[in-house]
Amino acid sequence: MEYRVFEDKILVRLDKGDEIVNSLLEVAKKEHLTLASVSGIGATDDFKVGVFDLARSDYGHFHFVGNHEIVGLVGNLTTKDGAPYLHLHITCAGEGGKIVGGHLFSANVSLTAEIFLGKAAGKAGRERDESLGINKIRFES
């Protein structure tokens, strides 16, 4: 992994074998990020996603292995309990152009990934909403 800071943007290049979520959290910690947008593209051959099941208030988990293009990686970075917190969604195209995706739990890069973090001034935290089973954004002053 390498990254560079350009004013209010950080460009992250991930290499084969890098894990996306952990790598972005590492950058966030090093750069003391508290609020940012996330967007990226790349390739993965091993990723885990979820789709939230409203009836169970929990995620259904799906694991995909094999060559996939990351068509879109989007989300945000806030904080929870004083630490960086990522909320990411991923869309990937596999064999025959079949599209899969969901809430990203982990993804290993197979070739490269190019990800922008758009730094924002301010802070937003997360707090657990037990009635929904999710960590909702909490606006801070």
DSSP-derived secondary structure letter, 25: H
Query: Which amino acid is located at 44 in the chain?
Result: T
pLDDT digits over 27-81, tens only? 999 999 999 999 999 999 999 999 999 989 899 999 999 999 999 999 999 999 9
Domains of the chain and any CATH numbers: 2-139 (3.30.1330.80)
Global pTM reads: 0.95
Which residues fall within 8 angstroms of residue 34, CB to CB, at 6 or more apart? 77, 78, 79, 84, 122, 123, 124
Checking if the pLDDT of 140 tops 80, the result is no
